[in-house]
Structure 1
Amino acid sequence: METRSFADYLRTLDDAALISLFSHRPDLITPVPPDVASLAVRASSAPSLARAIDALNAWQYQVLEACAIAAEPFTEKTMAALTDKAALFVIPGLLERGLIYQGKDGFYLPTTVREVLGNEIQGLGPQTVVKLNLKKLDEAPPAAQKALEAMVWGPPRGTVADVKKPGAGVAWLLENNFVVAANTKTVLLVREVALALRGGKLHKELQVQEPTLKTEKRDLKSVQLAAIANITTFLRWTEEILNFWAQEPADTLRSGGLGVRDLKVLSAHLGVDTSCAAFIAEVSYLAGLVTIDADDRILPTTQFDIWLMQTPSARWQSLVSPWLITSRVSGLVGKDESKNVAPLGPELDRVSAAPIRKLVLRLLSENPSVAPEFNSFAALATWHMPAKRSNGIPTDYLQWALRESEWLGITGQGVISKYGLELLAGGELESINEDLPKPVDHILIQSDHTAIAPGPLEHEIAQELAILAEIESRGGATVYRFSEATIRRGLDHGRSGDEIKAFLKKTSKTPMPQPLEYLIADVAKKHGKLRVGNTSAFIRCEDASLIAQIMNDKRLDLLSLRQIAPEVLICQHDAGDAMNILRSFGYLPAGEDSQGALLSGPRIQRAKTKARPPRIIGEFERPDEIQLEGALRALRTGEKSSHRQSTMRNIAANALGSLPRTTANETLDILADYLQNQPATSLSIGYADNNGLVSHRIIDPLKLSAGSLVARDHATGEVQSFRIARITGVAAI
């Protein structure tokens, strides 16, 4: 078969070549095209070509540029002359990706490739339409040589005051057609002259070999210890942030996302900087552990409770897996040029995020046991993904990917860990469960209202301590601090003072200090003496002196309190706001319902709506072998069907003139005769639609039924019913 077009070339490819094409460019089978002609259109479209070109390394990109400036059809010899002999090893890869294709007399490019590469490929201007005497370049006057030197390696444009009155050098170049006028103030160096001055080479410097990566050797044991510590820490961070939001949900911004103030509160609670807190929140959001509910509050989902019951390896994998494929970039939060970008907000998507992240991890996995030096790592990453259309990989994206890999424990001390390698290989990750320190079931209470957890605590103990104390410092051991506010929080959650003491005595390996017992007893005694409910809010207290103290407290003027009884005050604030204001000034109120019952009990909140993880933008996953083979079968079947339909249309068109016009009765008699005497004959019929337009069909008649003909339509392969009254004529094929 002679190759006349890109579609013809695709039709000549065998199954292995098509599977290779689909593997390199999965967007071509998402969804599977109906036939090869549709595949050719999709493969030649600018978006698909842009994705394929962005996946090339620097050397492949340079060879493709050479293909784009060469006259078609071009040969391997032409490519070697424009670049280097090593280009011969790149051309098969470009063929596999459908970026060039082979004809009878050489290679061609799909028409849109040049458009995607840009107008001035590698700084070259337009081709000339006149014959040039390039030998005269040796005779160029000094002014002309200076102009040529400025334009030879691009950009090919030069500015003049007036092209009709140029200087001596430009005038000589215009006279010899070495430059052409683009407008009254701009001249362009023609392509043939630039290539001649470059010595027939397209690029000033070829990037045949990838840059050398500078590295530092790390002790493997130290790497694994650092990685498992990072995993432990990140799991603890995630649990802490969701427990925090379960008790004190954050409100979202109008535009969506977490506000700066709430982010700083979260950062202070975790003891990390805001960029790390934003990343933890984002990963929880991606994993479906947190969502924004109908009231615009950020709350943990019921999935969080399931997550807490899973093994550490399953919990870690559920966090890392969506991070690998997401198009969201949490590193943008807090940057000066992106002031309106917020965690969990809609502005974090970047198309190149996931490919850059995967490239970083691939390069790290190809260089195990060593920590890369960043500048050389950035140069290597840029060689693998030059992304010329977007001016290369942003350095920040590489730094963020490396930083986030360290936070997650994919790397330790800058080196990819065994857990990261297992993750990328699709392993079970059981080594995480084996290597994590075993949880402890006790704490050590100190005399200064603190308690030390000598390791990761068992889940139930950790959850209880999260209510009764604040984390003061983290590390191999966690330090918790008890205070009036934390004890009050435990009482608000339904614990009594005696229950708090019993829990701490049971859990602590050291005796409970007397000052802590006094603190718990004192707070428990005061708790609930003052009560707040809704009127908008009422405040009730049996202690008249406390009522008098509140009424005389100038700090509480903002509540606009009014005394309606010796033991009752009312205000226009909501009960929750009133309690928060009273607590902020040292009072210890408790909630009360309309029946006077004390509202204390667990205040752990969950979102009522299902998790809505953010969408992923701009990514096509590489299909597996089953998907590739299924797409190939569908394409081959569709191509056969399209070919058959085209053949049937030609046959029907040829039969157009031979179809006799018949009445309904005549048509019925003819069809009955064919069914009785020649049942295996295919027929061409004219069939009128509702508007009276006649189309021609190729059919296999099956039977006559109630004024209709039941037949198999060759074009669709389906059995259809044709009304006799609408059949305008019948002829045998």
Structure 2
Amino acid sequence: MQRALDGLDAYTLQVLAAVMHGDAGPDGHDPAFGDALADLRALALVWDDGARPRTVPGVEDLLRARPPAPAAATRPPLASSARPPAELDRAGGTGVLEALRLVAALATSWTARPPAQLRSGGVGVRDLHRTARELAVPEPTVALLAETAYAAGLLNATHEYEPAYLPTPEYDEWLERPPAVRWGVLAHAWLTMTRHPAAVGRRGDRDRVVAMLGPDAERGTLPALRRRVLAVLAELAPGACPDGPEQVLAELAWRAPRRAALDGPPAAAILAEADLLGITAGGGLTGYTRTLLDGSRAVAEQVLADALPAPVSEFVVQPDLTLVVPGPPTAALAGDLALIADLESSGGASVYRISAATVRRALDAGHTAADVHALLTQGSRTPIPQALQYLIDDAARRHGTLRAGSAGAYLRSDDVALLARVTADRQVAALGLRLLAPTVAVSPAPAARVLEVLRAAGFAPAAEGPAGDVVAIAVQPPRAPSRPAPRTSRSRGAAPDGSELAALVRRIRAGDQISAPAGRFDLPAPIPGVTSATIMGRLRDAIRTEQLVMLGCAEVDGTVSRHTLLPISMGGGYVRGHAPGTERLLSFPLHRLTAVAVLDGPEDR
């Protein structure tokens, strides 16, 4: 019933209020009034008693508990401006290419520096700030890109002791697909995901900041709300764009006034997200998105592919060391340019800038100066400026003057001939010794292994500490793992005396009496709810003589339980006493006792 009321528009709610108050309604002869009343009957919110329509029980309470937001009596017009549909698709294509570029940039950034996963799940605020700074976009945009890519399976957390977020193998496959297909994956994930990117960075229900990719950003109602928001845009003519998001929000508030207060902020965020992902352009629904909403994803991707400009594999090198790509670059060209230049602006044409730092980045990746020259010469429509050539050659000349590497141990000697003979000796070839200088050699093997092999070959090396002094490297002898402690056997003590045996026999016989009370105590036929005189007499004697007894008590499931008790009182239908060895007071109802056996007497204690 609550769900049905939330789905009513403003006019139908007015009709329902009129029925609830017994009025004739806005206009009893209005056809719209009859249609609204028929809808209410179909939803089982209104019934007819023969005289007039009435609301079903519970409707009035729900309406008073959460009254709808004020709405106009008639449907407000949705102001919009018309644009050619082809122009709207081209504008949307620009947003699509930018969204794809940002997702790839996000994956590249997280590949270089994976953000750690918080203990509660999600990405921390510092990593969010860093990613936004590297991508040069606001933090809400980073949250949208990460949540959408995560929903599409392009990102995931690693299963390690300290998990972090990285691109998945599906991302590598996604990167090789055409742009329209890549957008189709993101758009489908955004439409169906239950994540709320706009909530990232705000205080959640538990008064803590909602983390990106964290559990607090989950909202199960968002897929349906996205469909309702886009349905408002789909009712406009192709190419029509609302004059502002408030027009769409007003339409949503009129369609469902009871949900207006809750759905308003998320709906505004959905409109902004749709523009960032290229689902809409200028607030209007693009042609390929209309096709996607109709259920044909393959056709929508084909419509988008026709609207996107053809990828280019050439660029123009300008004298100010910038590269201008007149269109969307191919995947190969985009990868090369991201390595040798920094993106300064994007859109219909992209501008990249080459600097000494970007050239060093390409050299660090394994390219040579000749490779960079060849890339620019083959892809440029214009000659390469001389200043750019000098920049590349100068960076390559200084690159690699310092070398860094890893080694397990070093070997040094002031005797150059001795060190040369050691490195040329076949008996120590397994060490992989390599001369760095006439008096210094390195090996990938650890120092202990180097000493062992050299001594076996007949040399007399010594271990050296960080300060150059001779130290002893102790070789740990091999050892097997420790065995578990063996079980210890305890010898039996001395045989019990006669009094202990007698007490043990009495306890065993008491158990037999509990098992067969009728044969041992010669009890009369039991009467339900009545305790026998024998049981009552034995309990009084045990209380008077302070004897330990064993009780048989009938449980609610029909079984008989046994309890050892030192009784101290009997009254009010209960026998009370202490458990042996404890001061805990126990009580048992008399009508449930089936037998009482005396375990010992005062003479035994």
Note whether the superposition's TM-score is higher than 0.5: yes
Q: Which amino acid aligns with 1:359?
A: R
- Superposition map of 1:276-675 within 5 A: 276-294=141-159, 295-335=162-202, 340-368=209-237, 369-374=239-244, 375-387=246-258, 391-394=261-264, 396-427=265-296, 428-429=299-300, 430-532=302-404
Aligned residue for 2:2?
50
Query: Whole-Å Cα distance in 2 between the matches of residues 298 and 258 of structure 1?
Result: 8
Q: CA deviation at 1:438?
A: 0.8
Q: CA deviation at 1:366?
A: 0.9
Query: Whole-Å Cα distance in 2 between the matches of residues 267 and 120 of structure 1?
Result: 40
Aligned residue for 1:247?
112
Query: Whole-Å Cα distance in 2 between the matches of residues 120 and 237 of structure 1?
Result: 42
Contact 2:67 2:258 in 1 (8 A): no
For the pair 1:94 / 2:40, whether they are aligned, the reply is yes
Match of 1:472, SS state, is strand
Contact 2:360 2:399 in 1 (8 A): yes
Query: Whole-Å Cα distance in 1 between the matches of residues 250 and 16 of structure 2?
Result: 21
Contact 2:103 2:145 in 1 (8 A): yes
Picking from 77, 82, 96, the partner of 1:217 is: 82
Q: CA deviation at 1:79?
A: 6.1
Aligned residue for 1:128?
none
Aligned residue for 2:140?
275
Aligned residue for 2:122?
257
Contact 2:15 2:25 in 1 (8 A): no
Q: Which amino acid aligns with 1:380?
A: E
Which whole-Å deviations, capped at 9, do the CAs of 1:543-571 have from their partners, x for residues lacking one? Answer: xxxxxxxxxxxxxxxxxxxxxx99999xx
- Residues 335 and 112 of structure 1: is their aligned pair in 2 closer, same or farther, counting only changes over 3 Å? same
Contact 1:218 1:415 in 2 (8 A): no
Which whole-Å deviations, capped at 9, do the CAs of 1:284-315 have from their partners, x for residues lacking one? Answer: 12211112223432211111122122232221
Q: Which amino acid aligns with 1:250?
A: P
Q: Which amino acid aligns with 1:92?
A: A
Which whole-Å deviations, capped at 9, do the CAs of 1:597-631 have from their partners, x for residues lacking one? Answer: xxxxxxxxxxxxxxxxxxxxxxxxxxxxxxxxxxx
Q: Which amino acid aligns with 2:198?
A: G
Query: Whole-Å Cα distance in 2 between the matches of residues 327 and 112 of structure 1?
Result: 31
Contact 2:26 2:33 in 1 (8 A): no
- Residues 506 and 568 of structure 1: is their aligned pair in 2 closer, same or farther, counting only changes over 3 Å? farther
Q: Where does the alignment leave 5 or more consecutive residues of structure 2 unmatched?
A: 411-437, 443-556, 559-605
Query: Whole-Å Cα distance in 2 between the matches of residues 209 and 261 of structure 1?
Result: 49
Q: Which amino acid aligns with 2:288?
A: Y
- Residues 278 and 102 of structure 1: is their aligned pair in 2 closer, same or farther, counting only changes over 3 Å? same
Q: CA deviation at 1:471?
A: 0.8
Q: CA deviation at 1:453?
A: 1.4
Query: Whole-Å Cα distance in 1 between the matches of residues 236 and 122 of structure 2?
Result: 38
Query: Whole-Å Cα distance in 1 between the matches of residues 440 and 23 of structure 2?
Result: 95
Q: After superposing the two structures, state which structure 1 stretch, 449-458 or 350-359, moved more.
A: 350-359
Contact 1:63 1:83 in 2 (8 A): no
Question: Greater CA radius of gyration, 1 or 2?
Answer: 2
Contact 2:202 2:209 in 1 (8 A): no
Match of 1:504, SS state, is helix
Q: Where does the alignment leave 5 or more consecutive residues of structure 1 unmatched?
A: 1-48, 71-77, 123-202, 539-564, 570-690, 693-733
Contact 1:472 1:480 in 2 (8 A): yes
Contact 2:89 2:304 in 1 (8 A): no
Query: Whole-Å Cα distance in 2 between the matches of residues 533 and 97 of structure 1?
Result: 75
Higher relative contact order (CA 8 A, sep 6+): 1
Q: Which amino acid aligns with 1:96?
A: A
Query: Whole-Å Cα distance in 1 between the matches of residues 39 and 156 of structure 2?
Result: 44
Contact 1:328 1:350 in 2 (8 A): yes
Q: Which amino acid aligns with 2:266?
A: Y
- Residues 472 and 308 of structure 1: is their aligned pair in 2 closer, same or farther, counting only changes over 3 Å? same
Which whole-Å deviations, capped at 9, do the CAs of 1:635-679 have from their partners, x for residues lacking one? Answer: xxxxxxxxxxxxxxxxxxxxxxxxxxxxxxxxxxxxxxxxxxxxx
- Residues 472 and 252 of structure 1: is their aligned pair in 2 closer, same or farther, counting only changes over 3 Å? farther
Q: Which amino acid aligns with 2:183?
A: W
- Residues 383 and 287 of structure 1: is their aligned pair in 2 closer, same or farther, counting only changes over 3 Å? same
Match of 2:123, SS state, is coil
Q: CA deviation at 1:422?
A: 1.4
Contact 1:101 1:109 in 2 (8 A): yes
- Residues 120 and 96 of structure 1: is their aligned pair in 2 closer, same or farther, counting only changes over 3 Å? closer
Which whole-Å deviations, capped at 9, do the CAs of 1:245-273 have from their partners, x for residues lacking one? Answer: 23333334444333334333333433332
Query: Whole-Å Cα distance in 1 between the matches of residues 439 and 273 of structure 2?
Result: 59
Q: CA deviation at 1:522?
A: 3.7
Aligned residues: 406
Contact 2:321 2:354 in 1 (8 A): yes
Q: CA deviation at 1:462?
A: 1.1
Q: CA deviation at 1:334?
A: 4.3
Identity of aligned residues (%): 33
Q: CA deviation at 1:121?
A: 6.4
Q: CA deviation at 1:84?
A: 5.2
Query: Whole-Å Cα distance in 1 between the matches of residues 13 and 79 of structure 2?
Result: 24
Contact 2:203 2:209 in 1 (8 A): no
Q: CA deviation at 1:55?
A: 1.9
Aligned residue for 2:12?
60
Q: CA deviation at 1:206?
A: 8.3
Q: CA deviation at 1:515?
A: 3.5
Contact 1:66 1:83 in 2 (8 A): no
- Residues 275 and 522 of structure 1: is their aligned pair in 2 closer, same or farther, counting only changes over 3 Å? same
Aligned residue for 1:238?
103
- Residues 439 and 79 of structure 1: is their aligned pair in 2 closer, same or farther, counting only changes over 3 Å? same
Which whole-Å deviations, capped at 9, do the CAs of 1:84-128 have from their partners, x for residues lacking one? Answer: 554431132233334446789986766554554445868xxxxxx
Match of 1:251, SS state, is coil
- Residues 536 and 117 of structure 1: is their aligned pair in 2 closer, same or farther, counting only changes over 3 Å? farther
